[in-house]
Structure 1
Amino acid sequence: MAEQDNEDRTEQPSEKRLREAREKGDVPRSRDLSGAVVVLAGVATLISGGHGAMAHVRRIYGLGLDYGRDALFSDELPVRVLSLAMREALLLLTPVALATVLAALAAPVLLGGLNFSAEALQPKFERLDPVEGLGRIFAMRGLVELGKSLLKLVLIGAVLVLVMKNWQTELMGTGRGDVASGTVRAMTLLGRGALLFGTVLALIGGADALYQKYDHTKRLRMTRQELKDEAKESDGNPELKGRIRQLQFQMARKRMMQELPKADVVVTNPSHFAVALRYDEGRMGAPRVIAKGVDELALQIRLVAGSHRIPTVEAPPLARALYATTQLDREIPASLYVAVAQVLAYVFQLKQATARGEEPPKAPQPEIDPDLMGPYQF
């Protein structure tokens, strides 16, 4: 059943799943990468302070070789030499220790980022179960960790063998000659060996970091059903969303009908489409659509317009173009300026003719580019 479940987990983890895992402290970590960073930080500090380190090493060597006859028979000599040697060793190793501590704290940020989880600090007593412990050891992840450890042992061992073989003459030469030159050669070989060792660890750590990131993503993979359930949970109940959309539509429709009496003209299809326009030259850059609808809503717009004596102009192509191109409470596009200007001019002339008792002018029929009607051109 577990294998079947893993086979079904083919989808990449969602942001929500990654965030929840991070809150639990489950982030990709690589002990090999952290160890490599710590070693390289210590080596870099040791090499950068080579002259100072060399001086401390010389003093430590000198403490064991420089003493007179009186000091040799003194009871205080061992204590004095030991205290001075410990002081020099402390001065030598303190910068290295600080660098390695800082590197150990900063190394995890390279892969998993800075993360603190209180949940990860809580004790988990199920980990004390010996049966589950054996299962973890012999699981695929345990076998992979065992293989990585053996590979590291082989690589590091091979490097050490090559170092001992190629540097054998130089290592033996550190015991010849004076103390100063021997110390310099020993410290140089130590620094080169540590740098080579850190480089090997860095290569291993880089490969392990890639694997840990892949393994972390693989463990958090989801099934398609889990993705659907999560999307449903995040987006909410579809029935509730539908109800909210219905209420929003009703409120928008109510506001639209309240604004309709302010319209200057209603352009109709004549029966299927109705679009109400308003134009305030001092406040608007272009005429604005304040109401629009099709079929039943178009009929209501025409009825409200009739009750408020708002002029209605039958211009089917223009009505369909206005409905297709302009959202509610938005100004009309520049491509319809001329056509709407003809309609507004007709409305102005109609009001003047009515006031004077003259015969009403002929309603315009503006030419409209069929592409502006979108899906409503037929």
Structure 2
Amino acid sequence: MRVPDDTKTEQPTPRKRQRAREKGQVARSRELAAGLATAATVAIVAWQVSSFGSQWRAVLRDALSAAQTGEFNWESTVLAWKSVSIFGGTALALGLSWMLAVVASIGQGGLVFAPGSLQFRLERISPAARLRQLFSITALGNLLKSLLPVAAIVYFCSATLVRDWTTVLQLPYRGGGAILVFTLQRLFEAGWKSTLVLLIWSGADYFFQKMKFEHDLRMSRQELRDELKETEGHPAIRARIRRLQRQVRRRRMLQDVRRAAVVITNPNE
């Protein structure tokens, strides 16, 4: 476990941020992109669930009718178009979810291209290094971080099941339509509750990732001085350059005075 450096109290410079970005280091939360994609999927499914149900019923009805008459053929125009419309709606939901995940990922840190990350490094394929990462404090923290939203989702689903347990016991005595409606309603309830948990958790995760990123970028006073030397040169050298520049300007002024016919001075001095 890395001990925090208390000497790094200064805010990072733009050059330090740029170097970190060139290495692919940006504040980013994978959970936020996954949470937004899940929310989009649940919203689209809830919006299209009635049309999906009617389309599936039409496809099954036509398929059973065609099977009874011996004319079952997937190349049938009506059956093919209905199947395409169903899978097209499913592809639309998946495509929009994927696009939202990409936009959320780009929105957190922008487009980052780090060629250095593509370089071959021996520690990436080292079994010992991988084992150290697997059993490190960081890996344990990430595991616990992933289990917390799962535990919350399991709790909500269990609470819903306990609440409706009496209704569940009565389902075998009801018709197929009532069972389907009950199941879809509970699935939708579990879906939006799970989505809410993921969104809250992913927002908190992004906040903590941002704080950790800013903390890791902090610099010590010595690092600030070293960077200043790299960008603007050593302070003693800069002072000598300014002194020489003043001397050059003074010599030029004296030469101009010798050639001048009239010299105007400040009477207040």
* SS of the residue 1:198 aligns to: helix
1:37 is displaced (CA, Å) by 0.9
The equivalent position to 1:90 in structure 2, one of 87, 91, 94, is: 87
- Counterpart residue number, 2:122: 125
Alpha-carbon distance in structure 2 between the residues aligned to 1:204 and 1:147? 13
Alpha-carbon distance in structure 1 between the residues aligned to 2:239 and 2:130? 50
Residues 1:204 and 2:201 aligned together = yes
Alpha-carbon distance in structure 2 between the residues aligned to 1:122 and 1:160? 45
Please say if residues 63 and 85 of structure 1, whose CA atoms lie closer than 8 Å, have aligned partners that are also in contact: no
Q: Which amino acid aligns with 1:94?
A: A
1:131 is displaced (CA, Å) by 1.6
Aligned-pair identity in percent equals: 29
1:50 is displaced (CA, Å) by 4.5
The equivalent position to 1:233 in structure 2, one of 221, 230, 233, is: 230
* SS of the residue 1:193 aligns to: helix
- Counterpart residue number, 2:109: 112
What is the 5 A alignment of 1:349-364?
Answer: none
CA pair 244-202 structure 1, distance change in 2 beyond 3 A: same
* SS of the residue 2:240 aligns to: helix
If each structure's helix is expressed as a fraction of its own residues, which one has the higher value? 2
The equivalent position to 1:72 in structure 2, one of 21, 44, 68, is: 68
CA pair 183-244 structure 1, distance change in 2 beyond 3 A: same
Q: Which amino acid aligns with 1:92?
A: G
The equivalent position to 2:163 in structure 1, one of 163, 166, 176, is: 166
Please say if residues 174 and 183 of structure 1, whose CA atoms lie closer than 8 Å, have aligned partners that are also in contact: no
* SS of the residue 1:114 aligns to: coil
Please say if residues 36 and 205 of structure 1, whose CA atoms lie closer than 8 Å, have aligned partners that are also in contact: yes
Alpha-carbon distance in structure 2 between the residues aligned to 1:175 and 1:39? 34
Please say if residues 171 and 186 of structure 1, whose CA atoms lie closer than 8 Å, have aligned partners that are also in contact: no
Q: Which moved more, 1:25-34 or 1:163-172?
A: 163-172
1:174 is displaced (CA, Å) by 10
Residues 1:157 and 2:154 aligned together = yes
The CA RMSD measured in Å over matched residues stands at: 3.5
* SS of the residue 1:265 aligns to: coil
1:173 is displaced (CA, Å) by 5.5
* SS of the residue 1:108 aligns to: helix
- Counterpart residue number, 1:247: 244
Q: What number of residue pairs does the alignment pair up?
A: 265
Q: Which amino acid aligns with 2:68?
A: L
TM-score, reference length from structure 1: 0.59
What is the 5 A alignment of 1:205-284?
Answer: 205-258=202-255, 260=257, 261=260, 265-266=264-265, 275=266
* SS of the residue 2:113 aligns to: coil
Q: Which moved more, 1:103-112 or 1:185-194?
A: 185-194
Please say if residues 10 and 221 of structure 2, whose CA atoms lie closer than 8 Å, have aligned partners that are also in contact: yes
Q: Which has the higher contact order (CA 8 A, sep 6+)?
A: 2
Quick check: which has more Rg, 1 or 2?
1
Q: Which amino acid aligns with 1:203?
A: I
Please say if residues 174 and 185 of structure 1, whose CA atoms lie closer than 8 Å, have aligned partners that are also in contact: no
Q: Which moved more, 1:96-105 or 1:181-190?
A: 181-190
Alpha-carbon distance in structure 1 between the residues aligned to 2:56 and 2:186? 14
* SS of the residue 2:65 aligns to: coil
Residues 1:25 and 2:24 aligned together = yes
Alpha-carbon distance in structure 2 between the residues aligned to 1:172 and 1:236? 82
Q: Which amino acid aligns with 1:166?
A: R
1:145 is displaced (CA, Å) by 0.5
- Counterpart residue number, 2:45: 46
CA pair 2-196 structure 1, distance change in 2 beyond 3 A: closer
* SS of the residue 2:214 aligns to: helix
TM-score, reference length from structure 2: 0.80
Q: Which amino acid aligns with 1:229?
A: D
Alpha-carbon distance in structure 2 between the residues aligned to 1:60 and 1:172? 30
* SS of the residue 1:6 aligns to: coil
Alpha-carbon distance in structure 1 between the residues aligned to 2:127 and 2:262? 80
Alpha-carbon distance in structure 2 between the residues aligned to 1:175 and 1:34? 43
Alpha-carbon distance in structure 1 between the residues aligned to 2:84 and 2:47? 21
Q: State the Cα deviation string for residues 145-177 of structure 1 (Å, max 9, x = none).
A: 122122122112112212333355389769944
Alpha-carbon distance in structure 2 between the residues aligned to 1:175 and 1:234? 80
Consecutive unaligned residues in structure 1, runs of 5 or more: 267-274, 276-312, 320-378
Please say if residues 40 and 195 of structure 1, whose CA atoms lie closer than 8 Å, have aligned partners that are also in contact: yes
- Counterpart residue number, 1:9: 8
1:135 is displaced (CA, Å) by 2.0
Please say if residues 31 and 198 of structure 2, whose CA atoms lie closer than 8 Å, have aligned partners that are also in contact: yes
What is the 5 A alignment of 1:245-324?
Answer: 245-258=242-255, 260=257, 261=260, 265-266=264-265, 275=266, 318-319=268-269
CA pair 160-125 structure 1, distance change in 2 beyond 3 A: farther
Alpha-carbon distance in structure 2 between the residues aligned to 1:175 and 1:115? 58
1:187 is displaced (CA, Å) by 4.3
Consecutive unaligned residues in structure 2, runs of 5 or more: none
Q: State the Cα deviation string for residues 65-90 of structure 1 (Å, max 9, x = none).
A: x427xx23748469989977853541
